[in-house]
């Protein structure tokens, strides 16, 4: 301190720890590193905060992994309760205010949209990769070096998956053979349902999944058109009442209660124009000043109604499906002319009906011709249990590849969870038709990849070997979580399985979650699709690399300094 009006100068190297100083007036104060920029975190601190946020999301999902995974109760802001262990559903309902945590939600959505299964596993794996990366970064290894090492290790792991993959048999000549309990497709669908709420109807839902996908699949091209497959959930009845309907289900009934409840050999006019006379434009008005003028207007409307019905009858239609509504007068005329009708059918449902019946959507009555009618063998109105609710079932359609899986349940929570469970199973069967290669579950694929990456790490020189070993340790989180959720000692179980993998050179040994007394996942036929497992590794590694490259968060429009 040279003079009272000069501030003491502190060396920059001393700013890493608290320093006492005096201002120009001689008053003491403390200088702490980054004191003037508390709102922002840079470098290691930013990466640490990001990884910790992602780890919290991952830890929430760990306990829901596997057939013994625990469920979560989701309570909406309105107080609605939902119980599920589906990863994509849980993450979509969680309210997050951290940007990196939101990336974990997007990761789960990507897995769900691309593969349909494995949403929990990909989040757990990504969280483990980030946790291992944080340890390396705190030891002084640059995040970019870790990210690049992860990328190389992931390629080795995927190559190992291709090596240990097995092929399931799909009988393309005898389709019904795939519905038997001994078929590979049926057993694969059963595996995906093992951790779901529908496990008591295990075989029934597996059969629904296989039958639904095979009906819309092209086995020669190995293609499945999910647009032709709909899953509808309806309250009433039990899960055992769920079934596959080869056709379309409409959440509607006939517009008049006296219309017939069943139509055979239906010729359907699919209309997007309303059953009503043309109205004046908004800039015009119609004044009726006498009884005679009112009668003329009434006769004009009656004439228009009759002309519309005549156009429909002349085209040969015996059934009308209309996107818009119509009043009681039109409804009465349709009934008297023996034309059953359904009104207020949504646009997406109209398109589905047109695809199923091979009909054309008609925007004007004048354009209606016999060639534009849709065809179905039977249309019937079906009551749902003891309630007044009814649905319309369109069966034996002109396009036989249109299928609807009808899910029944005693309450909305059961129906929703059963619908999500069936969706996962449908996706597994679809993926097997696209690529019939599988890897075996129970964490066996992850253990095999972990050993392979560890072996590769011993051959590496430089920083990459540390990233390789971190990647291998992150893969161990899957079998350890499965063992922990099954009530087993996770460390001991993993150690024994790794020893058996090396000793027997058997990549099919995994965690016996169901307590069947065998660790041979091939013998138990616990499988996961190869494309699903590969996508898990790729997406988790990609997210880890993305997070490791973030060192700051800037909120647009806010002062950061």
Residues 6+ away with beta carbon under 8 Å from 331:
255, 256, 341
Structure tokens that stand for 514 in this block: 């169901």
Residue tagged active-site, from 119, 357, 454, 529: 119
Residue tagged active-site, from 86, 112, 476, 512: 86
Closest CA to 529 of 226, 167, 200, 267: 167
What is d(CA 192, CA 428) in angstroms, rounded to the nearest whole number?
7
Q: Please write down the HEC assignment for all residues of 37-51.
A: HCCCCCHHHHHHHHH
Q: Please write down the HEC assignment for all residues of 84-148.
A: ECCHHHHHHHCCCCCHHHHHHHHHHHHHHHHCCCCHHHHHHHHHHHHHHHHHHHHCCCCHHHHHH
Closest CA to 134 of 52, 78, 243, 26: 52
What is d(CA 200, CA 293) in angstroms, rounded to the nearest whole number?
69
Residues 6+ away with beta carbon under 8 Å from 448:
160, 164, 501, 507
Cα distances from 116 to residues 223, 242, 361, in angstroms, run 16, 21, 32
Q: Please write down the HEC assignment for all residues of 135-172.
A: HHHHCCCCHHHHHHHHHHHHHHHHHHHHHHCEECCCCC
Residues 6+ away with beta carbon under 8 Å from 498:
447, 450, 451
Which is it for strands 229-235 and 437-440: parallel, antiparallel or unpaired? unpaired
Structure tokens that stand for 305 in this block: 């109604």
* Count of Cβ atoms closer than 10 Å to residue 199 Cβ: 13
What is d(CA 405, CA 408) in angstroms, rounded to the nearest whole number?
10
Helix (H) or strand (E) holding 490: helix 490-504
Residue 424 annotated to the active site: yes
Helix (H) or strand (E) holding 83: strand 81-84
Distance of CA 466 to the CA centre of its chain: 35
CB contact burial 489-525 (16+ within 10 A = b; e otherwise): ebeebbeebbeebeeeebbbbbbbbeeeeebbbbebb
Residues 6+ away with beta carbon under 8 Å from 122:
87, 107, 108, 111, 535, 536, 539, 540
Residues 6+ away with beta carbon under 8 Å from 488:
511
Residue tagged active-site, from 63, 89, 120, 404: 120
Q: Give the torsion sign (CA, 425, 119, 486, 529).
A: positive
Closest CA to 24 of 9, 12, 37: 9
Residue tagged active-site, from 424, 464, 476, 520: 424
Three-state secondary-structure class, residue 68: coil
Residue 120 annotated to the active site: yes
- 146 in Cβ contact with 462 (< 8 Å): no
The set of catalytic residues is: 86, 119-120, 424
């Amino acid at each position: 301190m040279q003079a009272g009006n000069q501030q003491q100068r502190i060396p920059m190297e001393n700013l890493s720890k608290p320093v006492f100083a005096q201002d120009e007036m001689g008053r003491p104060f403390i200088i702490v590193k980054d004191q003037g920029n508390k709102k922002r975190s840079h470098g290691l601190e930013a990466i640490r905060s990001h990884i910790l946020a992602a780890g919290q999301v991952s830890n929430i999902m760990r306990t829901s992994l596997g057939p013994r995974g625990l469920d979560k109760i989701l309570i909406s802001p309105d107080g609605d309760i939902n119980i599920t262990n589906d990863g994509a559903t849980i993450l979509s309902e969680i309210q997050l205010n951290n940007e990196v945590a939101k990336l974990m939600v997007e990761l789960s959505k990507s897995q769900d949209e691309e593969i349909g299964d494995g949403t929990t596993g990909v989040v757990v794996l990504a969280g483990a990769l980030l946790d291992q990366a944080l340890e390396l970064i705190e030891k002084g290894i640059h995040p970019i070096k870790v990210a690049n090492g992860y990328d190389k290790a992931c390629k080795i792991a995927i190559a190992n998956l291709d090596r240990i993959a097995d092929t399931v048999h799909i009988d393309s000549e005898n389709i019904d053979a795939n519905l038997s309990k001994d078929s590979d497709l049926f057993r694969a669908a059963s595996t995906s349902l093992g951790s779901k709420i529908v496990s008591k109807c295990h075989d029934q839902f597996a059969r629904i999944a296989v039958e639904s996908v095979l009906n819309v699949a092209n086995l020669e091209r190995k293609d499945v058109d999910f647009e032709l497959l709909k899953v509808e959930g309806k309250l009433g009845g039990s899960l055992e009442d769920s079934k596959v309907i080869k056709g379309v289900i409409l959440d509607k009934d006939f517009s008049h209660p006296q219309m017939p409840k069943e139509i055979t050999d239906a010729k359907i006019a699919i209309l997007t124009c309303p059953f009503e006379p043309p109205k004046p434009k908004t800039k015009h008005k119609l004044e009726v000043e006498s009884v005679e003028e009112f009668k003329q207007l009434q006769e004009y409307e009656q004439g228009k109604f009759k002309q519309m019905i005549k156009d429909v009858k002349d085209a040969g239609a015996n059934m009308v499906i209309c996107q818009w509504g119509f009043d009681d007068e039109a409804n009465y005329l349709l009934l008297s002319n023996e034309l059953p009708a359904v009104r207020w059918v949504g646009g997406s449902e109209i398109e589905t009906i047109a695809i199923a019946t091979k009909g054309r959507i008609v925007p004007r009555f004048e354009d209606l011709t016999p060639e534009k009618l849709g065809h179905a063998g039977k249309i019937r109105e079906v009551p749902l249990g003891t309630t007044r609710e009814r649905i319309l079932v369109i069966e034996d359609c002109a396009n036989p590849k249109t299928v609807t899986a009808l899910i029944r349940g005693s309450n909305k929570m059961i129906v929703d969870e059963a619908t999500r469970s069936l969706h996962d199973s449908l996706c597994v069967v679809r993926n097997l038709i696209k690529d019939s290669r599988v890897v075996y579950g129970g964490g066996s694929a992850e253990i095999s990849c972990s050993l392979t990456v560890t072996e590769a790490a011993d051959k590496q020189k430089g920083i990459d070997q540390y990233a390789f070993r971190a990647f291998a340790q992150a893969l161990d989180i899957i079998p350890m979580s499965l063992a922990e959720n099954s009530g087993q000692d996770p460390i001991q179980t993993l150690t024994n399985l790794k020893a058996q993998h090396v000793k027997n050179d058997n990549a099919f040994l995994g965690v016996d979650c169901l307590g069947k007394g065998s660790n041979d996942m091939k013998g138990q036929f616990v499988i996961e699709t190869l494309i699903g497992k590969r996508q898990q590794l790729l997406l988790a590694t990609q997210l880890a690399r993305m997070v490791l490259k973030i060192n700051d968060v800037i909120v647009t429009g806010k002062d950061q300094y």
